[in-house]
Amino acid sequence: MKELDLQALNNADKWLCSDNISKEIKDEILRLKAEDTEEFNDAFYKKLAFGTGGLRGIMGVGTNRMNSIVVAMSTQGFANYILQENKGKAEIKVVIAFDSRNNSKDFAQITARVFAGNGFKVYLFENIHPTPLLSFAVRELKCDAGVMLTASHNPKEYNGYKAYWNDGGQLVFPHDENVIAKVNEISDISQVKMQQDMNGITILGDEFDEIYFDKIKTLSLADEDLEQYKDIKIAYTPLHGTGYRIVPQSLHLFGFNDVVCQKEQSIPDGNFPTTKSPNPEERTALELGIKLMEEQDSDILLATDPDADREALTIRDNNGKVMLLNGNQTATLLTYYLLERYGELKKFTGKDFIIKTIVSSELIKVLAEDYNVKCYDVLTGFKWIADKILALEGKENYIGGGEESYGYLIGDFVRDKDSVSTCCIIAEMCAWAKQQGKTIYDILMEIYRKYGYYQEGLVSIVRKGKTGAEEIEKMMTDFRNNPPQSIIGHKVVMIKDYELKIAYDITNNSKTKLELPKSNVLQYFLEDGSKISVRPSGTEPKIKFYFGVKTQFAENDDFVSLNQKSEEKIEQIKKELKLV
């Protein structure tokens, strides 16, 4: 049996000695200490870090776990910062939502009671709601902040706490670092001001959804001719999450009535009983949805994660075979549809722009350039897309944006990923393709033939503990100090170092300043149009390698052959960088 960790003992003793912590929790601490040393040490050896995105961790007793005490203390720190930033304001408002995960509702009510205890006007959604509805509510109710209780697409053992600012976006600098500092000042539960009941807290019922529905209907780019093509067959799975009601309702509002929901996964359940992980990026999560798609002979399958901010799209190729699209392919299709329809409907203002993250496909930028629309790159994380929209508000016109990890946003009345409106626009895009006698697959192939075939890949290397963190740091140092001159026979023509905020143009031996915030990311651009990005994760003990390779369509090429060529190219890069 492992020895008890000294720091874990000290942290646990503070809880055991506190008059503000229940006997039930204290009994569980003593049980862990006596029966499961390893679990005890992991639960108490440190505080669960409140990072730039809030909290995320395994649920359970302990300072390093997601539980009511950690949520209450973190909320007090967040409340202290909001109060500091709104001194003299007569009424400070906050809105709170939660997803279908175990304990999310309890954590949301604790969060609401702490804010109420600090004198805030508090709005709390009565039932589970998607993350984009929380972001929308912050803006619609003119709140000073918001909180979403969710661990997104993580396994069932996890829960989390996303913090939002008054623009409806997640915290960015300097608010993120300042909130972290305030949360770290809360060292004991006795520092928390918590109302003992729910009195005075305004409950938001489902009628609030109607306001959101009215907004998303304004995103439609359909015309009267498109109505007759809205009979496409749609299969949908919410993966036991918050989209179970709102996504089908939204599709019906857009005129899509042939929507069949995967029955078992339409039951909200934090145990996610039908899948190992409720992550729409993973094929295993979509197995029941694909089965439904095949049984119903559906044109597409839409899938959303538990808090319904991410969306996965499955289509059919020209042989009727099911084809899962990756996040970049869906973002590419959405970008193309938005730009093409803006042109057809003469909606361009001359000040239009789209946004992508730096690790997302360069094809999105190529599309924008062809339509004479600006494309802004931002750091990884959707909060940076929201931040860019805010910076350009009133100056330029945001059309849409997205990231490779299945997050997209069309229109600017939400400031986070929004799978609900995205599902509606995807359905509309399918009808638009059908109007032309085409499928989504046909549209994607046309894009590739015109602009080149772009394929992406990702390798995540996990290195746990202190030695793992040191190994990841050394890997970044080695790549930074000894960059490759060529990769798989193609010269490196540009290196972007976001830590040093410098772009090195190898072809003419020049440097330019990068305007994005400082971040520990390296990118290598090759002469053939391919791109390799290296980034340590900000929330997990891993380092990620993103690959984006470009292959030109030859006369006799088809999707299968191009995909094979590109996959081989990615595997070559992995071997050359010694990642496999």
Q: Which residues pair with 302 in a beta bridge?
A: 236, 313
Query: Which of 152, 266, 421, 533 is labelled catalytic?
Result: 152
Is the CB of residue 489 less than 8 Å from the CB of residue 500? no
- Long-range CB contacts for residues 67-70, cutoff 8 Å, separation at least 24: 67/25, 68/106, 68/107, 68/110, 69/15, 69/21, 69/25, 69/189
266 is catalytic: no
- Long-range CB contacts for residues 436-443, cutoff 8 Å, separation at least 24: 439/299, 439/315, 439/316, 439/318, 440/299, 440/300, 440/313, 440/315, 440/333, 441/315, 441/316, 441/317, 441/318, 441/323, 442/318, 443/333, 443/336, 443/337
Q: For residue 564, which amino acid is it?
A: Q
* CA–CA separation, 410 and 542 (whole Å): 31
* CA–CA separation, 350 and 103 (whole Å): 48
Closest CA to 54 of 125, 151, 189: 151
Q: Which residues have C-beta within 8 Å of that of residue 22, sequence separation ≥ 6?
A: none
* CA–CA separation, 508 and 510 (whole Å): 6
Closest CA to 115 of 85, 83, 155: 83
Q: Which residues pair with 98 in a beta bridge?
A: 149
Catalytic residues, which ones? 152
